[in-house]
A and B are shown apart, each in its own frame.
Chain A
Amino acid sequence: MWIDKQKNILDFTLSSLLRRKGKNAALVCVYSVVVFVLASVMFFTHAIKKEAMIILKDAPEVIVQRMVAGRHDLMDLSYADEIRKITGVSSAEGRLWGYYYDPLFKANYTLMVPPEFKYQEGEIAIGQGVSRSAVTEAGNVMPFFGIDGKLTSFRIRELLSSESELVTSDLVLMSEQDFRALFGIPKNRATDLAVTVGNPQEVVTIANKIKKQLPDTRPIIREEIIRTYDTIFDWRSGIMLVIFSGALLAFIIFAWDKASGLSAEERKEIGILKATGWETSDVILMKFWEGAVISLTSFLAGMIFAYVHVFFSSAALFEPVLKGWAVLYPQFRLVPYINAYQVTTLFFLTVVPYTTATIIPAWRAAIVDPDSVMRT
């Protein structure tokens, strides 16, 4: 029966692999690590891109910055009046936000005035990351150095939810009066403008009109904001893969050499098998199983470990690279967005080349005369 034949050949293949168990075990381990790293990078970047896409779908439709000497500058609120006159614009509101470096905890915060701040002057709401880095909580007082160098204390009224940490971890929300007083920003100025457009299909046209009417501005549309994250986490780029590419290349050479170059012992084995009545197709089948045993086991193991690493341990191995020099880092758990395309790509990148590479040299050895193979 076909199944029994496969089982017998598989038995023989496994016995043959176990004769060189040290070498093959090392190969499986390295192979699994390679799949693990590739899959981790793939899973992580896809999940974060997808998360960014979902979360930022309600970001402002157009942000208008004012550019001065190649850098964005404070925006005069009269620009908002100009923009509101453009047909199709529903609203244009000034946004007030900026950065604050906390010299005590060596962390960067994003200070922001929300459109509707529900607390009084002298009160703030902070993100979870700020709370962790400054070791503080709701009810405590948090000091900030103002533009005049004086310390101003704010009462923390609220900790922003841990669920929104991916976007609010470093935020400090305060009233407009406090923000303007702290940074010395005049009343007629804002950091940038958030523009709402009635018809989503007109966004690009309106952005172009803004650029034409106000040449010193830079409109950024929502699609560009989302695309930024697509570009940033393009999996082929990134320091992890650049560093890893050396190791990957070494593995490919090693695996190719191992799979495609038959040792004298293996050639002899094929010769003996043929002399004892094995068909060429049986030898090729045996080599197929050899390739499949090693690559399929490694592929599945690498993928399972990558899933656990990215989605159960929040990509703990990547965290130092992602964190960089940042003191403040959000705590988040990624949603496992994995599609068939990713798994298939990984399969064709790892299992197929190795299995194919084992068959061709075996076929070459199997078609020659058994006697001459055994003599070499």
Chain B
Amino acid sequence: MRKSMVYLAVVVSQVVITVVLSIHAATVIKAARPRQEGVSRVVSALKLTDLCLFTEARYTRHPSMADRNTAFQDYPFSFEHFPSGSLMTVPEIVRKR
């Protein structure tokens, strides 16, 4: 078999996998809707405000509720105490300055 055909077979198979994954993505997005609606109802019923991603400190657990003007709390490039604080960007108001 010619080398070009082997290479084209590899690229075609990669493209096929990509197409299969995009079909998978579309299916999962569709299937996730009822679950997301359910979670949204929980958020509404319990009056929640934040995702439960980083539970180590109050300003990482509820970033939208955190104080905006307390030192060492929500400025990611200050002396950060918790690792997840490094994932957060500078607040918009500070960036605009």
Contacts and interface: CB of A to CB of B under 8 A. Distances in A.
Contact of A335 (B32, B47, B50, B69): B32
B25 A338 contact: yes
A168 B53 CA distance: 10
A14 B4 contact: yes
A170 B8 CA distance: 50
A345 B5 CA distance: 29
Nearest to B35: A163
Interface residues of A, number: 86
B64 A224 contact: yes
B8 to A, nearest CB: 8
Contact of B51 (A8, A95, A167, A173): A167
Nearest to B69: A70
A166 B2 contact: no
B39 A325 contact: no
Contacts of B52: 110, 127, 129, 165-171, 330
B3 to A, nearest CB: 4
Contact of A167 (B11, B39, B64, B82): B39
Contacts of A293: 7
B29 A335 contact: yes
Interface residues of B, number: 62
Chain B CB within 10 A, most for which of A8, A93, A160, A335:
A335
A297 B10 contact: yes
Interface string B35-53: 1101111111111111111
Contact of B18 (A224, A303, A325): A303
A108 B56 contact: yes
A326 B82 CA distance: 9
A229 B49 contact: no
Contacts of A1: none
Given A107-B55, A324-B60, A95 B43 contact: no
B43 to A, nearest CB: 5
Contacts of A304: 14, 17-18, 21
Contacts of A165: 52
B87 A15 contact: no
A55 B89 contact: no
Contacts of A329: 53, 55
Contact of B36 (A55, A95, A114, A323): A55
A71 B89 contact: no
A170 B51 contact: no
30 contacts: A8-B4, A10-B3, A10-B4, A10-B8, A54-B36, A54-B40, A55-B51, A58-B41, A70-B69, A99-B61, A108-B56, A112-B46, A115-B47, A161-B38, A161-B42, A164-B38, A164-B42, A166-B39, A166-B53, A171-B52, A173-B46, A225-B49, A225-B64, A232-B88, A234-B89, A296-B11, A300-B17, A322-B53, A324-B56, A326-B84
Closest 10 CB pairs of A and B: A58-B44, A324-B83, A324-B84, A300-B14, A336-B25, A10-B4, A239-B86, A225-B64, A228-B64, A14-B3
Given A304-B21, A327-B55, 7 more contacts: A55-B43, A63-B49, A168-B52, A237-B76, A301-B14, A322-B53, A330-B53
